[in-house]
Structure 1
Amino acid sequence: MTSLWLASSALAHPSDDSRERRDAIEVSPHGEAWELSWSDTEERLQGSLRPVPPREGQPLHVSLDVGSFEGAPFTGPLILTLRQAGATHGQSVTVKRGARHWEATFVPESTGPHVLDVGFRTTRTKALHAPLEVSDSPVSRMVGWGLLGVGLLALLGYTVRGMLRTERAEPPAPPSPGTDAGQAPPPQIHAAPEPPAPNNDP
């Protein structure tokens, strides 16, 4: 009897882990997009996220399609929210169905783990969650490399300038011994040779 009571309690009150698994949207890479998929006994959701990977400060396009297994097709709006993992609020929009899909565009404001929430109501309110990772913007990387290059060029310029100043500041060669600094040495005076004595021999 105890075992039957525990089993019936587990079915009546599913654990948080099983509830999260039922509400988790599967995200899988496919070419230049991430495919989204989810289903229960009543509806199924399919869609895509692009570009891959999502980048900070760049538009992230979401395209979704929700269908019903039985009864009338689902045409109601979707509430889409992009938020940081662990946060309770984020960018949220209510999207009506277009010609075929529900579409929205977000601009991630930070890097790191994020969650795309998808909410809608049929026989009950459903809140689904798709985990995703937002990467650095390539523009910020280019700016960082540019600043590094400018710093290296400035360091090289200061080094060359210091070397030129050192060469110009070298003192002149010391004067030779016996001369005063800044004066030319005195001219050398050589005595003229004496003429030979006259020969008076007969």
Structure 2
Amino acid sequence: MLATAAVADSWLPRGPSDQIEVAPHEDGLELSWSDTEELLKGNIRPAVPRKGEPLHVSLEVGSFEGAPFEGPLILTLREAGAHHGQSVTVKRGARHWEATFTPETEGPYLLDVGFRTTRHKVLHAAFTVGASPVPRMLGWGVLGLGCLALLGYTVRNLLKGDAQKERSPPASAAEPTPAPPPEPSPEPSAVSEPAAADPSPATTEAENKPPVEQ
């Protein structure tokens, strides 16, 4: 932060009495300045201003001599090197002068503080605006989509593996069954001769019957 503030300091108008000291703290950027007549102190919140996010300026101006300073402050937020920016005229509240700005770009910025006491004074505080962070809801949405995609990929692989197991045959069925040996063809049998017919009983009895006498 100090290095970037130093870069932004190169855009400050020359003159040691015009530069507001900027010191980073946990809850914001602390501002301080003084000359022989007035004292200025305040802060810019948040500690890391970002593009597109509101930043709140709170200032207090006091006089070393004479009546308390009551006049308005002219606050201008502009990019370093630019001649114009967001400008507001702020009246004193209960104790402070407050304003809210929204940086539209990232990079070095200047906060100009103008007021009149014995003379017109314009002070400059240099700081850096960071890039816009990813919205929290968008980040959670991207993370959720990634988790769903991973879960879907895992379930798909599991279902694909189960389907392959169901289609593949068992190991015993996959082994080829040996074919039975071929049966020997029957040899041609010899043609058997018909057996001699046995003499019928009637013929045998006729042959054995004695001849009849005449």
- TM-score of the alignment, normalized to the shorter chain, above 0.5: yes
Structure 2 residue corresponding to 1:61, chosen from 56, 59, 82? 56
1:82-161 equivalent positions in 2, closer than 5 A: 82-139=77-134, 143=138
Q: 1:144 to 1:73 in 2, by over 3 A?
A: same
Q: 5+ residue gaps in structure 1?
A: 1-16, 162-189, 198-202
Separation in 2, partners of 1:81, 1:89: 8
Residue in structure 2 matched with residue 49 of structure 1 by the alignment: 44
* Percent identical residues: 69
Residue in structure 2 matched with residue 177 of structure 1 by the alignment: none
Q: 1:99 to 1:84 in 2, by over 3 A?
A: same
How many residue pairs get matched?
A: 164
Normalising to structure 1: TM-score of the pair? Answer: 0.63
AA paired with 1:94? T
Is 1:35 the counterpart of 2:39 in the alignment?
A: no
Separation in 2, partners of 1:29, 1:91: 23
Query: What SS does the corresponding residue of 1:138 show, helix, strand or coil?
Result: coil
Q: 1:26 to 1:145 in 2, by over 3 A?
A: same
Asked which structure has the greater CA Rg, the reply is 2
How far off is 1:21 after superposition? 2.0
Separation in 1, partners of 2:190, 2:17: 131
Separation in 2, partners of 1:145, 1:191: 85
Separation in 1, partners of 2:110, 2:190: 118
Q: 5+ residue gaps in structure 2?
A: 1-11, 157-184, 193-214
Contact 2:25/2:47 (CA < 8 Å) preserved in 1? no
- Larger relative contact order, structure 1 or 2 (CA cutoff 8 Å, min sep 6): 2
